[in-house]
């Protein structure tokens, strides 16, 4: 290898650059680098293309693709040392190579990263949590026998949650068989009599709905609750401090809005539960 080329190879090996920007990067030694520089300077396009893929010379990182992107002929001459073999000044060649390699084209852009330290720290904190989650995900998705049932379960669970939330937010007067909920002028005693008649006739769902309306009218008259058309079961249970009311409201939602058939136990719970609701609300 020529003295000038050897000096330039040494200069390249002392300069740390960012990773090459090409997809097929190559690592070569100093002899190969000098050969490629000479061939490329002589007009060998294949040598120039290979030189642009170089990302390491003698194990030192360089970015030749960026360095040769602009005015490659001038930079190749500088890398050759600008002198015939044996006539190059080693110090001058080193300085020339250093000047070229110190230019911005030889280094990746230094983009400001004001949050890099904070994000790295947060990532370090979250890493222990991510590892078991990743392992669980890989275990589930590794075989369809595990993944498909789990996916179906998640979809069904989401559907059930959406249905329950939707019912809890539905106005009490809406839904199957629902007029607007009792107005303040309705008579709770008459509503309870109608519930008894519906029970005797076998319409247990209507009996539950009528007793629920009667109970809300009584709460309104007791000053515990204010009846309005947009009232929902969720709003009722939040406004009235009664565990009994929560159970009655759940049964009401399932029967009035969810289509669950009413059972004799639902009617009995409605008959005995509403007096307890009033007593709990007045405490």
Per-residue pLDDT of 176-208, as tens digits, reads 444 444 466 689 999 999 999 999 999 999 999
5-9, 193-197, 207-211, 255-259: segment of lowest average pLDDT? 5-9
pLDDT tens for each residue of 104-124: 555 555 556 666 677 777 777
Which residues, including other chains, have CB under 8 Å from residue 228's CB and lie 6 or more apart? none
Query: Which among 49, 86, 83, 63 is positioned nearest to 12, based on CA atoms?
Result: 63
Task: Cite the beta strand spans of the chain per DSSP E.
Answer: 26-28, 54-57, 60-61
- 57-93 pLDDT, tens digit per residue, is 888 888 888 888 888 888 888 887 644 444 445 566 5
Residue 225 sits at φ, ψ, to 5 deg, of -145, 150
CB-based contacts of 215-219 (< 8 A; 24+ apart in sequence): 215/188, 215/248, 215/270, 215/274, 215/277, 215/278, 216/172, 216/181, 216/182, 217/182, 217/184, 217/186, 217/187, 217/188, 217/191, 218/188, 218/274, 218/278, 219/277, 219/278, 219/281
260 C-beta neighbours (distance < 10 Å), count: 13
Do the strands 54-57 and 60-61 form a parallel or antiparallel pair, or are they unpaired?
antiparallel
Nearest-5° Cα angle at 78, 66 to 58: 65
Give residue limits of the domains in the chain.
3-106, 188-281
* Residue 248 tokens, joined: 């009655």
Task: Write down the pLDDT at residue 84.
Answer: 40
- Model-wide pTM > 0.75: no
Mean of pLDDT values over 144-157: 62
Q: How far apart are alpha carbons 59 and 179 in whole angstroms?
A: 83
Higher pLDDT, 219 or 168: 219
Among residues 263, 235, 240, 242, the alpha carbon closest in space to that of 251 is found at: 263
CB-based contact 5:78 (threshold 8 Å): no
Tokens read off for 79: 């890398």
């Amino acid at each position: 290898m020529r003295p000038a080329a050897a000096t330039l190879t040494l200069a390249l090996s002392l300069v740390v650059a960012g990773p090459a920007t090409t997809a097929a990067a190559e690592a070569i030694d100093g002899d190969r680098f000098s050969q490629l520089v000479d061939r490329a300077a002589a007009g060998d396009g294949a040598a120039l293309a290979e030189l642009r893929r170089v990302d390491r010379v003698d194990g030192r990182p360089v970015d030749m693709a960026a360095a040769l992107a602009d005015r490659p002929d001038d930079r190749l001459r500088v890398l050759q040392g600008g002198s015939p073999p044996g006539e190059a000044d080693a110090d001058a060649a080193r300085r020339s190579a250093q000047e070229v390699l110190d230019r911005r084209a030889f280094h990746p852009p230094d983009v400001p990263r004001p949050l890099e330290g904070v994000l790295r720290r947060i990532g370090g904190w979250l890493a222990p949590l991510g590892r078991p989650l990743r392992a669980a995900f890989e275990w589930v998705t590794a075989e369809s026998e595990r993944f498909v049932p789990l996916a179906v379960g998640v979809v069904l669970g989401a559907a059930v949650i959406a249905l329950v939330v939707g019912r809890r937010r539905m106005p009490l007067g809406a839904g199957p068989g629902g007029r607007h909920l009792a107005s303040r002028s309705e008579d709770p005693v008459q509503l309870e009599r109608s519930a008894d008649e519906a029970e005797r006739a076998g319409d247990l769902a209507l009996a539950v709905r009528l007793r629920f309306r009667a109970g809300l009218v009584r709460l309104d008259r007791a000053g515990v609750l204010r009846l309005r058309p947009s009232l929902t079961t969720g709003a009722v249970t939040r406004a009235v401090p009664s565990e009994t009311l929560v159970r009655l409201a759940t049964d009401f939602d399932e029967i009035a809005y969810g289509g669950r058939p009413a059972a004799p136990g639902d009617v009995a719970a409605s008959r005995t539960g509403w007096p307890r609701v009033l007593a709990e609300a007045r405490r």
